[in-house]
């Protein structure tokens, strides 16, 4: 190996004995290795150049792949996902807001206006616009609570209740007067997510050209009222266009004809600032108003019927009653009264807790519509139906008579007439005119040699008048009557059916139950010669825009 000049690790070592020849040690190690051998200089250069070239090639590939990935990613974001991100960006700047439609009005048969829409204001909150930070969010809610004098817990509960609709306006306080609404509007200018929402509320009054009059209280059961959507209702109706801030018909005509009265909402596209406050309107699609609804109810007949029914209650010392007036020619109702009643205006704009508790704690149940929802013993009003059944079955003729001496005795049981001593010889006409119980004991359960129809045949004829089903009136809450049977009594009471049960049913007592509406319908059927009409309180709807009328046909 050629000699090489030694290179010192330190040019001037402190101690000569510590001076080490680095190159010498390296050469010694190389020569000492058993596999060491001389490598040609040109071979060393070739290996070095090959390694260097591979590194450069690998580096170029990595850089190229990285740039290609970036190019494809940018292209994907701009071309493929560009619309999505652009819409998201615009979503933070632009909003699509609903424009409520004008609710249709309700008129009586004389076109007297019974409802009115009046402007009102509400404080609304959009949860999505509230701060994401929990502490900042709490501070905003606290400020809103202070402005509206509403407990923080109530506001938080409302937000959580409608948590699935964070992009929609949620009403925090309803039915604000103008001055209060403007004060809150100014004070809440720097509070994110808060805004004053303009709408309308329903008033129930008799609108005349001269003045407004209070409606008879019994009209509340017919007209019904509006209320806020519950979370369950909103889940069902959200896809149909209903919003958390909307109201909906809860009872009466307001509920049954909700789709006609509501109309179609419009929309407006607005630009908002970072607080979610409206800055300008970008575009607008106008709403279409709801249709007017015309009733068969005559408000004058309604007033008169309520007056005389209340007078009868006062005279007799009673507190609950109902009455129905039906036109037998088509089944339309001219009046429907249930007493006691309530005031629909109490629910307009939201009912306060004290008033509502007063209604539901009243033993006379003023919110209960007895005329269609109450099932009671039929009493003597059912007797013409059994008389018609006996005539149809050939059990009696118009001239058949029975002797009424004050009642019938069966063993130890006595079934009386209402008049002591009875009514004497009685045919079918006299039995109806004087409501003679004995006559119906005979044709119903029989006595002595007379074989009565029996409970099965009697119930069969009552089913012809639909006493066991709902009649289908266009008001919510109707119930069906109940017709007993031998099997029912054995299953529910564990007793056999006795002739005394048949006697009781034959005069409308016992377990038979009917609604006042069913009794009215069956009497109207007798009056018109045998046609059963579907009872209804609406005769037509009117398109506000075109003025076109759409009659509701009788069924």
Confidence (pLDDT) at 144: 85
Helical (H) or strand (E) element with 205: strand 194-207
> Is 503 within 8 Å of 415 (Cβ atoms)?
yes
Confidence tier at 81 by pLDDT (50, 70, 90): low
Confidence (pLDDT) at 210: 80
Between 89 and 525, where is the model more confident? 525
pLDDT > 90: percent of the chain: 57
**Given 2.60.40.1120, 3.20.20.30, 1.10.3720.10, 3.40.710.10, which CATH number is that of 379-514?**
3.40.710.10
> Is 341 within 8 Å of 321 (Cβ atoms)?
no
Three-point CA angle 31, 33, 37, nearest 5°: 60
Confidence (pLDDT) at 65: 78
416 phi and psi angles, rounded to 5 deg:
-90, 160
Confidence tier at 538 by pLDDT (50, 70, 90): very high
pTM: 0.79
pLDDT tens track for 91-120? 557 777 788 899 999 999 999 999 999 988
Domain ranges of the chain: 379-514
pLDDT tens track for 423-456? 999 999 999 999 999 999 999 999 999 999 999 9
> Is 214 within 8 Å of 344 (Cβ atoms)?
no
Measured CA to CA, the distance from residue 50 to residue 40 in angstroms comes to: 16
454 phi and psi angles, rounded to 5 deg:
85, 155
Query: Hey, what long-range contacts does 376-380 have (CB within 8 A, 24 or more apart)?
Result: 376/513, 376/514, 376/515, 376/516, 377/508, 377/509, 377/510, 377/512, 377/513, 377/514, 378/508, 378/512, 378/513, 378/514, 378/519, 379/507, 379/508, 379/509, 380/435, 380/507, 380/508
When mean pLDDT is compared across 13-22, 319-328, 387-396, the lowest value belongs to 13-22
Count Cβ atoms within 10 A of the Cβ of residue 145 and give its class: 0-12 exposed, 13-18 middle, 19 or more buried: middle
**Range list of β-strands (E), 376-483:** 402-404, 407-410, 413-416, 424-426
pLDDT tens track for 277-334? 667 778 888 989 999 999 999 999 999 999 999 999 999 999 999 999 999 999 999 9
Confidence (pLDDT) at 26: 41
Between 346 and 54, where is the model more confident? 346
Confidence (pLDDT) at 79: 65
Q: What is the DSSP string of 260-317?
A: HHH-B-EEEEEEE-TT--EEEEEEEE--BPPPEEEES--HHHHHHHHHHHHHHHHHHT
Query: Closest by alpha carbon to 227, among 261, 188, 255?
Result: 255
Q: Which pair of tokens denotes residue 471? A: 């009649």
When mean pLDDT is compared across 40-44, 131-135, 411-415, the lowest value belongs to 40-44
Calculate mean pLDDT across residues 214-220. 96
Measured CA to CA, the distance from residue 102 to residue 262 in angstroms comes to: 7
* Residues 6+ away with beta carbon under 8 Å from 487: none
Confidence (pLDDT) at 528: 95
pLDDT tens track for 178-198? 888 888 888 777 888 788 888
pLDDT tens track for 485-495? 999 999 999 99
The sign of the CA dihedral 10, 13, 19, 24 is positive
Confidence (pLDDT) at 148: 80
Per the rule left: phi > 0, alpha: psi between -120 and 50, beta: everything else, 547 is left
314 phi and psi angles, rounded to 5 deg:
-65, -45
> Is 444 within 8 Å of 433 (Cβ atoms)?
no
Can you tell me whether residue 206 is helix, strand or coil?
strand
Residue that the structure tokens 């007798």 belong to: 526
């Amino acid at each position: 190996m050629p000699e090489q000049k030694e290179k010192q690790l330190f040019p001037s070592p402190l101690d000569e004995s510590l001076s080490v020849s680095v190159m010498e040690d390296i050469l010694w190690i190389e020569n000492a290795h058993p596999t060491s051998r001389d490598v040609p200089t040109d071979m060393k250069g070739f290996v070095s150049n090959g390694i260097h070239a591979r590194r450069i090639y690998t580096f170029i590939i990595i850089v190229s792949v990285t740039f290609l990935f970036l190019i494809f990613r940018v292209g994907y974001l701009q071309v493929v996902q560009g619309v999505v991100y652009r819409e998201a960006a615009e979503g933070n700047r632009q909003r699509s807001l609903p424009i409520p439609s004008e609710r249709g009005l309700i008129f009586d048969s004389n076109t007297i206006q019974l409802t009115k829409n009046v402007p009102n204001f509400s404080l609304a909150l959009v949860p999505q616009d509230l701060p994401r930070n929990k502490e900042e969010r709490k501070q905003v809610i606290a400020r809103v609570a202070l402005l509206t004098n509403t407990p923080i817990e109530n506001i938080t509960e409302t937000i959580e209740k409608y948590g699935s609709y964070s992009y929609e306006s949620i009403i925090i306080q309803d039915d604000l007067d103008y001055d209060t609404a403007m004060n809150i509007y100014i004070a809440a200018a720097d509070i994110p997510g808060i805004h004053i929402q303009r709408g309308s509320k329903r008033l129930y009054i008799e609108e005349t050209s001269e003045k407004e009059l209070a409606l008879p209280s019994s009209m509340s059961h017919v007209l019904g009222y509006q209320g806020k959507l519950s979370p369950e209702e909103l889940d069902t109706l959200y896809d149909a266009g209903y919003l958390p801030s909307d109201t909906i018909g809860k009872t009466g005509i307001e509920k049954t004809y909700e789709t006609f009265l509501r109309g179609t909402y419009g929309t407006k596209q607005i630009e908002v600032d970072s607080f979610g406050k409206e800055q300008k309107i970008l575009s607008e699609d106008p709403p279409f108003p709801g249709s007017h609804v015309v009733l068969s109810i005559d408000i004058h007949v309604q007033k008169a019927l309520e007056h005389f029914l209340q007078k009868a209650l006062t005279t007799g010392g009673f507190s609950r009653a109902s009455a129905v007036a039906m036109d037998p020619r088509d089944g339309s109702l001219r009046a429907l009264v249930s007493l006691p009643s309530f005031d629909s205006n109490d629910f307009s704009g939201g009912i306060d807790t004290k008033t509502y508790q007063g209604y539901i704690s009243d033993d006379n149940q003023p919110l209960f519509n007895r005329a269609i929802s109450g099932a009671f013993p039929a009493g003597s009003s059912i007797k013409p139906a059994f008389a018609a059944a006996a005539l149809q079955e050939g059990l009696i003729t118009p001239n058949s008579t029975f002797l009424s001496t004050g009642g019938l005795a069966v063993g130890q049981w006595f079934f009386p007439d209402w008049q002591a001593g009875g009514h004497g010889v009685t045919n079918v006409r006299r039995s109806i005119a004087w409501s003679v119980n004995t006559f119906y004991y005979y044709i119903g359960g029989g006595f002595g040699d007379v074989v009565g129809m029996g409970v099965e045949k009697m119930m069969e004829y009552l089913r012809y008048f639909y006493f066991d089903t709902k009649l289908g009136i266009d008001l919510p809450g109707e119930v069906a009557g109940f017709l007993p049977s031998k099997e029912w009594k054995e299953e529910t009471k564990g007793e056999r059916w006795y002739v005394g049960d048949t006697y009781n049913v034959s005069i409308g007592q016992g377990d038979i139950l009917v609604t006042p509406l069913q009794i009215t319908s069956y009497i109207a059927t007798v009056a018109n010669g045998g046609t059963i009409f579907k009872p209804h309180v609406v005769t037509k709807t009117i398109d506000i825009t075109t003025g076109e009328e759409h009659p509701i046909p009788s069924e």
